[in-house]
């Protein structure tokens, strides 16, 4: 459910609040049903005592800090990255920089193979 949820949309419960604070970028681990994303204001009113995951953006991709999910989810086989001094996990595969590994028009054979679990999408 977390992987298929769309984050960073305007919060329906707080449409008149400042945009940065009323953007749905958090999810609760303790709600009985899968939690819809919620904003800062919803968190302080409805999810005060819950374990909350703050979703962040990096290269237009959703990421979550390892420290926020490592006790709730098994991420032992997931590759992590360091972004702005914080270890994070991308929801989907990490985007590759343009031109990474090859000059224009060249194909490079790599001795490394990446495995992407498409069943989780």
pLDDT tens-digit readout, 53-81: 888 988 888 999 999 989 888 999 888 99
pTM over 0.75: no
% pLDDT > 90, the chain: 12
110 domain residue, yes or no: no
Domain encompassing residue 37: 26-94
74 domain residue, yes or no: yes
Tally of CB atoms within 10 A around 7: 18
> What is the DSSP annotation of 28-95?
ESSSSSPPPPB-HHHHHHH-TTS-EEEEEEETTEEEEEHHHHTTTS--TTS--EEETTEEEEESSPPP
Looking at the 3D structure of the chain, how many domains does it have? 1
9 domain residue, yes or no: no
* Segment among 8-12, 17-21, 105-109, 113-117 with least mean pLDDT: 105-109
The pair of three-digit structure tokens given for residue 102, joined into one six-digit string: 């090859």
18 domain residue, yes or no: no
- Residue 49 makes CB contacts below 8 A (sequence gap 6+) with 30
């Amino acid at each position: 459910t977390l992987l298929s949820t769309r984050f960073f949309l305007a919060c329906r419960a707080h449409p008149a609040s400042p945009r940065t604070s009323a953007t749905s970028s958090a999810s609760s681990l303790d709600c009985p049903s899968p939690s819809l994303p919620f904003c800062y204001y919803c968190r302080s009113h409805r999810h005060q005592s819950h374990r909350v995951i703050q979703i962040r953006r990096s290269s237009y991709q959703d990421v979550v800090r390892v420290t926020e999910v490592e006790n709730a989810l098994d991420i032992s086989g997931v590759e992590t990255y360091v972004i702005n001094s914080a270890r994070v996990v991308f929801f989907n595969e990490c985007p590759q920089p343009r031109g990474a590994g090859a000059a224009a028009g060249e194909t490079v054979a790599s001795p490394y193979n990446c495995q992407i679990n498409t069943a989780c999408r």
